Chains A and B, each alone.
Chain A
Amino acid sequence: MRFTLNGSEVDVDAHPMSRLLDVLRVDLGLTGTKEGCGEGECGACTVLIDGEPVCSCLVPFSQAEGTNVRSIEGLGDDHPLQRLFMDEVGAQCGICTPGMVLAALSVGESPSLSDVQTALAGNLCRCTGYSAIYRAVLKWRGVSPDGASSI
């Protein structure tokens, strides 16, 4: 089955009902996508399909056919948002971070705090209490964390 992964066309021979998560991690060896719960609750396995964040543990591989999939590996090694997650300590243990970063990419220009909270509502973090994640995302979008409106 063919799809576009991080900008390149790939062809993978896997069962159509395989989880996209396993295709990425096992068949393609891209282990940046993490499994936290396997039931779409924690968001650690978030990838973007045609730009939309999805839980790859809930996506049968057949649904990925012909789509444009972006995993954390597609962001390269020095995306400013990745850097901010480390500098602001939005990543502590780091297991939720790849999914969190991809989900945060959908946050638009000049977000309010509540825009960020809503965008990340499907991604659980047990370490940070989220505050440092908000600071990272707001800074990335050029908003001063102290000045972000919560409305």
Chain B
Amino acid sequence: MTAVGRNVSRKDGIGKATGRAKYADDLVFPGMLHGRTIRSTIPRGRIKSIKLDFDTTGFTIVDYHDIPGRNVVDLIEQDQPFLAERDIRHFAEPILLLAHESLERVNAARVEIEYEELEPLFDPEKSDGILKAIDINKGDVDAAMAKADIVVEGIYRTGHQEHVYIEPNGVVATPENGGVAVFGSMQCPFYVIKALKCMLGADAQIRVVQTETGGGFGGKEEYPSMIAGHAALLALKSKRPVKIIYDRLEDMVATTKRHPSIVRHRTGVMRDGRIVAMDVDVLLDGGAYVTLSPVVLSRGCIHAAGAYRCENTRIRGRAVATNTPPNGAFRGFGAPQTEFAIEVQMDRIAATLGVDEVALREMNALRPGDTTATGQVLREDTSALAVLDEAVRRTEFRRKRAEYRGTNRTIGLALFFHGAGFTGSGERHLNSRARLDLTETGVRIAVGSTEIGQGTRTMHAQIVSDALDIPYESIEVAQPDTSVVADSGPTVASRTCMVVGKILEECATAMRDALGGLTPREYFARHGAFSVERKYEPPDWIEWDDHTYRRDAYATYGWGCDVAELEVDPDTFEVKPIRLTAVQEFGRPIHPALARGQIEGGTAQGLGYALLERVVMRNGAMANGQLTNYTIPTTLDTPEIDVVMLENPYPGGPFGAKGLGELPMDGPAPAVVNALRNFGLDVREIPATPEHLSTCASL
């Protein structure tokens, strides 16, 4: 029986449910010290003096002088220091590291830092620190706008969002073979290697091992490089293992969040509903350092015109610096912000024209053969109309929309899409590799792609099982250890199943040919072990120009339509979600139950983004860095989620699969806000808390 398409038993085993699975904080090494990070308490300034106000006996203390290589976290740019030297650009910037055998003593240690404070900048609209600018141009926007019957304008805002993986960040570093080994909670062990090599020197012996990871959602894409660097410095200086585990407050105030956005739309439409011109301006608040802002902006801009055809489109994007902790990767990566804006704009266009929002979307939705804003010609795996029609039919949207008018119930929808894999030439530059090892008992998958709850181990084993035609049970998945596995690229961008899974499928096909009809056991008995390694080859038709932002931004896209049904208290503005419907097309599910889990979980995160999750910044610092006052959806806030998985196999993916992880994050916020608009509130901003709704005008 084939493994793909079935809910096979997960490779995780039972350990997560019995408590035996080992997360970073569960590791204990002999002689281990506990590390702590001393951080800035001001948003901008210069360090004048540092005073250690404690008995330093038994302490290991590290500052930037202890860095043998370069004091930068090597990512897209090399601007962010591991430890501040003099300049402070944001609150909670790391300055000094302490380690001691006693966690109590390390936590009690007092360090006094004197600063020369400088005027901070928090308003992204006033920032001239451009981290990245992008221009996408198609057709002649100005001429088309001038000829449009109506021009609809709007400004849409989204706030920060905190990942709230339930396991806070943490690593253990230990001296090993004259170098250092790092074990930790992370998405991208090879990013950590790259950053540590830059910090310690190219010749340094470094091994990075991903431990069981308690959620990531992008929040453990880049920041673990920082923590790993800190733990490594302490371990090398003390010559002892050092554990650094953030508590919830530190994790929330110091690590990355989703970029806040301000998106401006001007849309030219004809009276019959055709969109003829789109002029979009995207502003992202990047925080104090570049981190991943350029690529978040890139994905945000490419998705900013939504799932719609328009011959004249201009998208201008900027990510700017402010004196707040750097924002970074978060599921959706810029697209939830810009798709929120276009989807609310679409409902406002429909209202302006006096047509229904479904009809407006049907008329303008992208179809095979249409071109996107970057000029990409869409192929047969384009399902905007299919997901829209199914969502409208299944929810009886038009009937309910009419029926709920004048009641406390309301309904709204959003149509969206999400590019799978790295943007543009990203996959080509990554040059990911995957490897299969033939072993005595079967086959072992050796990739750096991490399991963070989404089912990496299971999906990969299913793909290999079917491509190699051997039992799923005989496939083992290696723990991501950079000394053992191939660098299959980061576990991000909805690429793990589609891109890495495809390379594994190719490895498996090659291994099947090499086995010549023998089973792995038979082959091993006669010839011994061997491995097959392959690297990623993009589809030959993909063309992308990094400078002009033209052509094939992604190999394929997932498509979704969400419908939100809400109950609104007209006096308190309390919003109770009654039912969410998520219709999504992502090629073909490899493991339907895991895929459904991605949609349900992503939809719930989107619901929190829409209604609950508000990061309050005061003087550049998150003022509500606790789960008491930064609230994510509980069981009582999360309604039934009706999931529909439409299939439209993508020929370039393993067994027809596309990427899925991020797609479900894009739809809930605009669907909820459009429902609130249909209730009669002019909402253009999230989170739509009761406090915010009480300030919104009536429609």
Given the interface contacts A89-B596, A126-B166, does A94 sit within 8 Å of B12 by beta carbon?
Answer: yes
In the assembled complex, the Cα of A22 lies from the Cα of B28 at a distance in Å of 14
The answer to whether B167 and A36 touch across the interface, beta carbons within 8 angstroms, is yes
| Least CB distance, B174 to chain A, in whole angstroms | 18
Q: Which of B6-44 contact A (CB under 8 A)?
A: 7, 9-10, 12-23, 25-26, 28
The answer to whether A78 and B14 touch across the interface, beta carbons within 8 angstroms, is yes
Given the interface contacts A41-B626, A78-B14, A93-B213, does A32 sit within 8 Å of B601 by beta carbon?
Answer: no
The answer to whether A126 and B215 touch across the interface, beta carbons within 8 angstroms, is yes
The answer to whether B248 and A38 touch across the interface, beta carbons within 8 angstroms, is yes
Which of B25, B163, B640 has a CB less than 8 Å from the CB of A131?
B640
23 CB < 8 A contacts A-B: A33-B19, A34-B167, A36-B166, A37-B627, A39-B248, A39-B627, A77-B18, A86-B17, A89-B10, A92-B215, A92-B597, A93-B166, A93-B167, A93-B213, A93-B452, A127-B453, A128-B600, A129-B638, A130-B638, A131-B600, A131-B640, A132-B597, A133-B635
B543-560 interface mask toward A, CB cutoff 8 Å, 1 = contact, 0 = none?
Answer: 000000000000000000
Chain A positions within 8 Å of B163 at CB level: 126
B628 at the interface (CB under 8 A from A): yes
**Helix, strand, loop or mixed for chain B's interface?**
loop
B680 at the interface (CB under 8 A from A): no
In the assembled complex, the Cα of A29 lies from the Cα of B22 at a distance in Å of 12
**Nearest chain A residue, comparing its CB with the CB of B22:** A31
| Least CB distance, A94 to chain B, in whole angstroms | 3
Given the interface contacts A42-B166, A93-B167, A129-B604, does A150 sit within 8 Å of B640 by beta carbon?
Answer: yes
The answer to whether A39 and B601 touch across the interface, beta carbons within 8 angstroms, is no
Chain B positions within 8 Å of A117 at CB level: 635-636
The answer to whether B20 and A36 touch across the interface, beta carbons within 8 angstroms, is no
In the assembled complex, the Cα of A76 lies from the Cα of B17 at a distance in Å of 10
The answer to whether A130 and B18 touch across the interface, beta carbons within 8 angstroms, is no
A113-125 interface mask toward B, CB cutoff 8 Å, 1 = contact, 0 = none?
Answer: 0001110111111
Chain B positions within 8 Å of A39 at CB level: 248, 626-628
Given the interface contacts A32-B18, A82-B18, A131-B640, does A126 sit within 8 Å of B165 by beta carbon?
Answer: yes
**Nearest chain A residue, comparing its CB with the CB of B13:** A86
B206-226 interface mask toward A, CB cutoff 8 Å, 1 = contact, 0 = none?
Answer: 000000111111000000000
The answer to whether A83 and B165 touch across the interface, beta carbons within 8 angstroms, is no
| Least CB distance, A69 to chain B, in whole angstroms | 14
In the assembled complex, the Cα of A30 lies from the Cα of B516 at a distance in Å of 48
Chain B positions within 8 Å of A120 at CB level: 635
In the assembled complex, the Cα of A40 lies from the Cα of B180 at a distance in Å of 36
The answer to whether A32 and B16 touch across the interface, beta carbons within 8 angstroms, is no
| Least CB distance, B504 to chain A, in whole angstroms | 21
Q: Which of A75-106 contact B (CB under 8 A)?
A: 75-78, 81-83, 85-89, 91-98, 101
B382 at the interface (CB under 8 A from A): no
| Least CB distance, B242 to chain A, in whole angstroms | 17
The answer to whether B22 and A92 touch across the interface, beta carbons within 8 angstroms, is no
The answer to whether B636 and A121 touch across the interface, beta carbons within 8 angstroms, is yes
B603 at the interface (CB under 8 A from A): yes
Q: Which of B104-158 contact A (CB under 8 A)?
A: none
A44 at the interface (CB under 8 A from B): yes
The answer to whether B593 and A88 touch across the interface, beta carbons within 8 angstroms, is yes
Q: Which of B433-491 contact A (CB under 8 A)?
A: 452-455
B57 at the interface (CB under 8 A from A): no
Given the interface contacts A92-B454, A121-B636, does A126 sit within 8 Å of B17 by beta carbon?
Answer: no
B515 at the interface (CB under 8 A from A): no
| Least CB distance, B533 to chain A, in whole angstroms | 29
| Least CB distance, A116 to chain B, in whole angstroms | 8
The answer to whether A77 and B627 touch across the interface, beta carbons within 8 angstroms, is no
B642-665 interface mask toward A, CB cutoff 8 Å, 1 = contact, 0 = none?
Answer: 000000000000000000000000
B164 at the interface (CB under 8 A from A): yes
The answer to whether B626 and A93 touch across the interface, beta carbons within 8 angstroms, is no
The answer to whether A85 and B17 touch across the interface, beta carbons within 8 angstroms, is yes
**Nearest chain A residue, comparing its CB with the CB of B251:** A37
B98 at the interface (CB under 8 A from A): no
A72 at the interface (CB under 8 A from B): yes
A52 at the interface (CB under 8 A from B): no
Chain A positions within 8 Å of B597 at CB level: 89, 92, 127-129, 132
